[in-house]
Amino acid sequence: MKKWLVAVLFLAVLALGACGAGDDNASDDAGTDDSNDGAVETSAGEEVYQSNCASCHGADLSGGAGPSLAQVGSKYSADEIADIVKNGKGSMPALNVAGEDLDALTSWLSEKQ
């Protein structure tokens, strides 16, 4: 019984930690260079990942409390990844990522083959 309670509390802490790590104060200069759209988009996607996903899926996408995302692009399309981020899946909670951040994240993750 105690192990079950500890497991539930651990999962609750992980879920709450994953939901509150966003940084809304990004530099105003980010993304203003139109000549390098791909790199800016990738950088933005990686930043969103580090802020919202890395605590469970690992800073290097290798997994941890959540599964590895190193090859997530070969399993899911960008639209499917967006659906999972917005609505959750299995033990993963829905995340509060939307708009340009969601687009950048799903584009970046869908490239992981």
Q: Which residues, at least 6 apart from 20, have a Cβ–Cβ distance to it below 8 Å?
A: none
Question: Is 53 annotated as contributing to ligand binding?
Answer: yes
Question: Is 57 annotated as contributing to ligand binding?
Answer: yes
Q: Partners of 92 in the beta sheet?
A: 89
Question: Is 19 annotated as contributing to ligand binding?
Answer: no
* Orientation of helix 37-52 relative to helix 99-110, angle to 10°: 100
Question: Is 1 annotated as contributing to ligand binding?
Answer: no
d(C-alpha 75, C-alpha 86), whole Å: 17
Find the DSSP H helices in 23-98: 37-52, 54-57, 78-87
**Known binding residues for heme c:** 53, 56-57, 92
**Known binding residues:** 53, 56-57, 92
